[in-house]
Amino acid sequence: MQVVETSSPECLLMSSDTSSSGSKMDPYQISDSDSCIGDDHEESMEDLPVDKEKKFLHLVEMGFLIDDASLALEKCGPDASITELMDFISATQIEKITTDAHLQESDYPILNENEPGPSHFPSAPHPDKKRKLFEAEEIWEKKIDSQRRRKKESTYKKVKKPELQEDEESVRLPKLLIGFGVPNMPRPVFNRKIPSQAISLPYFYFENVACAPKGAWDTISRFLWEIKPEFVDSMYFCAAARKRGYIHNLPIHNRFLLQPIPPLTIQEAFPLTKKWWPSWDKRTKLNCLTSSHGSAKVIKRIRLALENWDEEPPLRIQKYILFECRRWNYVWVGKNKVAPLEPEEIEMLMGYPKYHTRGGGTSLTDRIKALGNSFQVDTVAFHLSVLKNIFPNGISVLSLFSGIGGAEVALHRLGIPLKNVVSVEILKVNRNIIQSWWEQTNQKGNLIHIADVQQLCLDKLKGLMNSLGGFDLIIGGSPCNNLSGSNRVSRDGLHGEHSVLFFHYFRILNDVKILMRNG
Ligand code: SAH
């Protein structure tokens, strides 16, 4: 996970190596980037360091060469974002290869019209071209090697500084993120303990990124009555990875899946891509669907890089392209042409109705961001399915950090009537999306919107509970901006500016428990 987290061209080599060699550990051969690089509730890469020096250091820390980093800053200017700088460096590397390999006409000797020249033998490469191709590959190889060396050295330096290592370490996750069981995998052996104080109503369900900084899940568990997280990767439920931890007091027997079962591979989900999918792109699952999407520049660069080869491009080019495809979850949509997923395609992968996020009058960016932060509905519904028999006449839900209503959609799709939903979500666009969905699906219950969890004080809770008769389920995934591995600037842990809102989840849950206990 660390490899992809670095996002450097070096990880391009390593991650594609894993996939092409068919890693035994991962039956789906995806690069394991989602939980750490492109996590939900993440900050986009544009939020990285502000001043020039910091950007320079950041690039070098990521494994780029000093020369490349300073050239990128010089050419792109001090205001360029880290993503732009990284793209510039990748572009110069790839351009070096392609321009060297693809000889300009002027590179050929001027021919006497009567003499046979290269045009008489269109398929036989000019000896110069062959040589240059070889040289270009060597340049690339050397660059990657030296970056690898630098990376090793810097890792070594980090190991020598225990305080740094401690800060940067993430939670240790099990190899297979299958929680208390997922479809099509053997049931794991586990020992589930729910302390008696946590068994009382209401049911609760808390979610966050699996790959949080060390200690974050321990603290969350400590607050939530020492219940251990159930770590699950949504790749067992749909065609995209999403590694999440869930702490809940729900029963776990007789869970069932939402129907219809969604497509489980990229090729099943997007059959039209098959025609264009190159044999050397072995992806069958997408990485975590994140809140950022790629740039037109990268897409153009991929096309140009491929146009130089009639057949398979050399390994170096493949690796570069696979790196970008994994990083941005690109799919093949034409000859030499990749594209990012459309919002409707992401909606489908995440288990939402088509156009779900269009309901709020939202921009493309809002939609992608909201979807990048949302629950994967099939996964969450699997866990919530046990509530169907418990609440046949409907359920009252307090939905904290509702986003685009992943919890509400999951309960509805399970056929559990939504008696009352109090939805707490700060963004108006998201509240609009939930409101539109509520109307679209002809809900019969009550939907109450509240903007900020911080406004939901004890008195307000009392008032709501008196009028609604208590809550059956308190559900939510607090912001993970400061937990996600993709955030290299303010990954401040649970006490970070946004992630600290977890403590409101606990406060509200605890208040509701006390109020319900006292009748
Ligand atoms: N589970 C949700 C997404 C959770 S992401 C879904 O399925 O879509 C965290 C959400 O918390 C984001 O939508 C963010 O806008 C919201 N949020 C951030 N600060 C908040 C606050 N102070 N009060 C309420 N919601 C907040």
State pLDDT tens for residues 475-504: 999 998 777 766 666 677 888 878 899 999
The reply to whether ligand 1 has any atom less than 6 angstroms from the CB of 339 is no
> 405 C-alpha to center of ligand 1: Å?
10
The reply to whether ligand 1 has any atom less than 6 angstroms from the CB of 41 is yes
Average pLDDT over residues 439-447: 98
More reliable by pLDDT, 447 or 134: 447
Average pLDDT over residues 29-34: 34
The reply to whether ligand 1 has any atom less than 6 angstroms from the CB of 98 is no
> 241 C-alpha to center of ligand 1: Å?
21
Closest residue to atom 9 of ligand 1, CA basis: 479
| Banded pLDDT at 154 (limits 50, 70, 90) | low
* pLDDT at residue number 470: 96
Distance between start and end Cα atoms, the chain = 47
- Rg of the Cα trace of the chain? 26
> 220 C-alpha to center of ligand 1: Å?
17
> 123 C-alpha to center of ligand 1: Å?
58
Q: Report the largest interatomic distance among the alpha carbons of the chain, rounded to a whole angstrom.
A: 102
The reply to whether ligand 1 has any atom less than 6 angstroms from the CB of 500 is no
Q: Which of 290, 373, 411, 504 has most ligand 1 atoms within 8 Å of its beta carbon, as the pocket-test mutant?
A: 373
* pLDDT at residue number 124: 33
* CA distances (Å), origin 384, targets 26, 176, 362, 445, 516: 27, 21, 29, 19, 21
Task: Round to whole Å and give the CA distance between 10 and 136.
Answer: 18
> Above 80 in pLDDT, residue 280?
yes
* pLDDT at residue number 229: 96
The reply to whether ligand 1 has any atom less than 6 angstroms from the CB of 170 is no
Of 100-104, 353-357, 418-422, 479-483, least confident by mean pLDDT is: 100-104
- Length of the chain equals 519
> 105 C-alpha to center of ligand 1: Å?
57
Q: Which atom of ligand 1 is nearest to the CA of 430?
A: 13
Q: Which atom of ligand 1 is nearest to the CA of 41?
A: 5
> 502 C-alpha to center of ligand 1: Å?
11
Residues 6+ apart with CB under 8 A from 441: 412
* pLDDT at residue number 431: 97
Among 60, 518, 12, 70, smallest CA distance to 298 is for: 12
Vertex 263: Cα angle to 312 and 210 (nearest 5): 90
SS3 334: strand
| Banded pLDDT at 51 (limits 50, 70, 90) | confident
The reply to whether ligand 1 has any atom less than 6 angstroms from the CB of 374 is yes
> 373 C-alpha to center of ligand 1: Å?
8
> Above 80 in pLDDT, residue 93?
no
> 402 C-alpha to center of ligand 1: Å?
6
Q: Between helices 406-413 and 377-384, what is the axis angle to 10°? A: 60
The burial class, CB within 10 Å (0-12 / 13-18 / 19+), for 198 is middle
> 378 C-alpha to center of ligand 1: Å?
19
Cis ω for the linkage preceding 260 (within 30 of 0): yes
Q: Which of 380, 383, 397, 425 has most ligand 1 atoms within 8 Å of its beta carbon, as the pocket-test mutant?
A: 425
**Has this prediction a pTM greater than 0.75?**
no
The reply to whether ligand 1 has any atom less than 6 angstroms from the CB of 38 is no
**464-471 contacts: CB < 8 A, separation 24 or more?**
464/422, 465/512, 465/515, 465/516, 468/396, 468/420, 468/422, 469/396, 470/201, 470/202, 470/396, 470/512, 470/515, 470/516, 471/202, 471/396, 471/397, 471/398, 471/420, 471/422, 471/512, 471/516
The reply to whether ligand 1 has any atom less than 6 angstroms from the CB of 376 is no
**Cβ–Cβ under 8 Å, residues 319 and 401:** no
More reliable by pLDDT, 86 or 35: 86
> 453 C-alpha to center of ligand 1: Å?
9
Q: Which atom of ligand 1 is nearest to the CA of 375?
A: 7
* pLDDT at residue number 273: 97
> Above 50 in pLDDT, residue 26?
no
Task: Round to whole Å and give the CA distance between 98 and 87.
Answer: 16
> Above 70 in pLDDT, residue 252?
yes
The reply to whether ligand 1 has any atom less than 6 angstroms from the CB of 477 is yes
Q: What b/e sequence results for 415-429 when a residue is b if at least 16 CB atoms lie within 10 Å of its CB, and e otherwise? A: ebebbbbbbbbbbeb
> 407 C-alpha to center of ligand 1: Å?
12
Q: Which atom of ligand 1 is nearest to the CA of 406?
A: 7
> 501 C-alpha to center of ligand 1: Å?
10
